[in-house]
Amino acid sequence: MGQRLGDVSAPARLAGPEEGISREELALAARNHGLPLEALRYDVTPPGLHYVLTHYDIPWADGEGWELAVGGRVRRPLTLGVGELRARPPATRRVTLECAGNGRALLSPRPVSQPWLTEAVGTADWTGVPLRDLLAEAGVASDAVEVVFTGADHGVERGVEQDYERALPLDVAMGEEDDDVLVAYAMNGVPLPPQHGYPLRLVVPGWYGMAHVKWLRAITVVDTPFTGFQQTVAYRLRQNPDEEGEPVARIAPRALLVPPGFPDFMSRARIVRPGPVELEGRAWSGRGTVTGVEVSTDDGASWHAAELEAPSADGTGRWAWRRWRLRWSAEPGRHLLCARATDSRGNRQPVRQPWNRGGFANNQVQPVPVLCVDDGERQDR
Ligand SMILES: Nc1nc2c(c(=O)[nH]1)N[C@H]1C(S)=C(S)[C@@H](COP(=O)(O)O)O[C@H]1N2
Ligand SMILES: [Mo]
């Protein structure tokens, strides 16, 4: 009898009512780390602090020998080395990337997968060649509908052996919808680090992370919608496993607080001193521009408008997070802080999260418990 890789028809699992994070989820969480939330202070996330999500292994890559194939429904198929891409007119975009599963572990019931709390986010300056330039050069056939992006990493997911692959509708790939999609070779001015896709990755401004295919080795123009695992099985908003579901696409608005004060080691609960406390954080949306951030220090009973930093004037940062601030006068006792963002399309973060099976695209407000005490209880002096 042949070996099976797993049950192909089995849906992703939901945790039971009292079920804790498993060893398998811990293994994923240790490989795929988040942004320490204090790093929300940086406009551009320093190397190593940007979140990482890799489904399989980071493939070994020799940048010199790397080839990117552009083919399928095109008139002139191309094979490009990294040097040839670097020789073309570059474009740089500051883009906030967020994993579609950010916040998953806070849902109930908990979808069993990478158990993110709220830290699967980061911002980088990505430099590369606009995808539309490469597609124009290759000459897209008139019957094209989508463009498929293939990574060099390979694995098994729910019994399906696969290369990591995702597709974009042709108008998004051509940058007609909102902004240039990039084939990027640099992150913050230096070659991509291995974990972020060295030597080439896709960057799709405003879209959740799964669309930004790392270790990009092929771009294939197709005349029928792509039905690969990461497109039609994973990354769908579903209530029941047998639904077709809605595809996950653009990032819903979210505001996060830099955790104020200092933390308790185990609980991560925050401690602040009585008096003025500068609350600050970041807010972003891939569905529009963030137009407002409101902060509550009383568990949502009252909301106060925060001061929001203006977006960059040249437009290259329109998909990057924006800083916000609010001064709070902390009084002794327990407080529950939270912040919520609204964007130019009228999308606002929910206080209670609508649930979906994969735990995707959830953007529930982040509650930050704070204990305000004076320093009379210190034991270290
Ligand atoms: N080839 C490949 N690309 C990939 C992935 C992957 O596993 N393989 N993970 C995707 C997911 S789910 C996310 S959230 C982002 C994470 O990008 P980062 O690790 O650079 O932050 O990469 C995306 N691109
Ligand atoms: Mo992701």
Give the tens place of pLDDT for each residue, 286-298. Answer: 999 999 999 999 9
| pLDDT of 129 higher than 50 | yes
Instruction: Give the pLDDT of residue 381.
Output: 61
Alpha-carbon gap, residue 242 to 260, rounded angstroms: 43
Does residue 55 line the site of ligand 1, with CB under 6 A? yes
Task: Choose the residue to mutate in 28, 49, 51, 54 for probing ligand 1, maximizing ligand atoms within 8 Å of C-beta.
Answer: 54
Question: How far, in Å, is the centroid of ligand 2 from the Cα of 346?
Answer: 25
For the domain with range 3-247, which CATH number is right: 3.90.420.10, 3.10.129.10, 3.90.1200.10, 3.40.109.10?
3.90.420.10
Instruction: Give the pLDDT of residue 1.
Output: 41
| pLDDT of 378 higher than 80 | no
Question: How far, in Å, is the centroid of ligand 2 from the Cα of 355?
Answer: 17
The three-state (H, E, C) secondary structure of the chain, written as one string: CCCCCCCCCCCCCECCCCCCCCHHHHHHHHHCCCCCHHHHHCCCCCCCCCCCCCCCCCCCCCCCCCCEEEEECECCCEEECHHHHHCCCCEEEEEEEECCCCCHHHCCCCECCCCCCCCCEEEEEEEEEEHHHHHHHHCECCCCCEEEEEEEEEEEECCEEEEEEEEEEHHHHCCCCCCCCEEEEEECCEECCHHHCCCCEEECCCECHHHCCCCEEEEEEECCCCCCHHHHHCCEECCCCCCCCEECCECCCEEEECCCCEECCCCCCEEECCEEEEEEEEEECCCCCEEEEEEECECCCCCEECEECCCCCCCCCCECCEEEEEEEEECCEEEEEEEEEEECCCCECCCCCCCCCCCCCCCCCCCEEEEECCHHHCCCC
| pLDDT of 2 higher than 70 | no
Does residue 257 line the site of ligand 1, with CB under 6 A? no
Instruction: Give the pLDDT of residue 100.
Output: 98
Alpha-carbon gap, residue 62 to 79, rounded angstroms: 16
CATH 2.60.40.650 occupies which residues in the chain? 254-377
* Percent of the chain whose pLDDT exceeds 90: 89
Task: Choose the residue to mutate in 168, 188, 212 for probing ligand 1, maximizing ligand atoms within 8 Å of C-beta.
Answer: 212
Q: Which CATH number does 254-377 carry? A: 2.60.40.650
CATH 3.90.420.10 occupies which residues in the chain? 3-247
Confidence of residue 206 (pLDDT cuts 50, 70, 90): very high
**Segment 245-264, tens digit of pLDDT:** 999 999 999 999 999 999 99
Instruction: Give the pLDDT of residue 315.
Output: 75
Does residue 213 line the site of ligand 1, with CB under 6 A? yes
Going by alpha carbons, the residue nearest to atom 13 of ligand 1 is 209
CA separation (Å) from 227 to 174, 244, 247? 20, 12, 12
Does residue 151 line the site of ligand 1, with CB under 6 A? yes
Instruction: Give the pLDDT of residue 268.
Output: 92
| pLDDT of 90 higher than 60 | yes
Question: How far, in Å, is the centroid of ligand 1 from the Cα of 275?
Answer: 42
Mean pLDDT of the chain: 95
The answer to whether the predicted template modeling score (pTM) of the entire model surpasses 0.75 is: yes
